[in-house]
Amino acid sequence: MAKVSPGEFVNQVKTEASKIVWPTGRETVMTAVMVVIMTTLLGLFFFGIDTFFGAIVQWLLGFASGRG
């Protein structure tokens, strides 16, 4: 690996940093809204699955103990 002087390194960093394309404020808000929507939907989905399987386990435990 080639050795680079500190000044040249700073110049390279500035050059690379100028290539960064930052999202607009609208893009950032839209992405945040989509993240909130998707996490809410996934949370509700997994809550439903957990409730369903919890009910099955409770039924099986009750059945195994002779109460079901």
Domain definitions of the chain by residue range: 22-68
Q: Please state, as a whole number, how many other Cβ atoms lie within 10 Å of the Cβ of residue 15.
A: 9
Are the beta carbons of 33 and 41 closer than 8 angstroms? no
What pLDDT sits at residue 15?
Answer: 96
To which H or E segment does residue 3 belong?
none
* Tens-place pLDDT, residues 26-64: 999 999 999 999 999 999 999 999 999 999 999 999 999
- Residue 66 has a pLDDT of 83
In 3-state terms, what secondary structure has residue 22? Answer: coil
Give pTM, 2 decimals: 0.65
Say which residues have a Cβ less than 8 Å from residue 28's Cβ, sequence separation at least 6. none
Q: What per-residue confidence (pLDDT) applies to 3? A: 87
The per-residue pLDDT for 68 is: 55
**8/14 Cα distance (integer angstroms):** 10
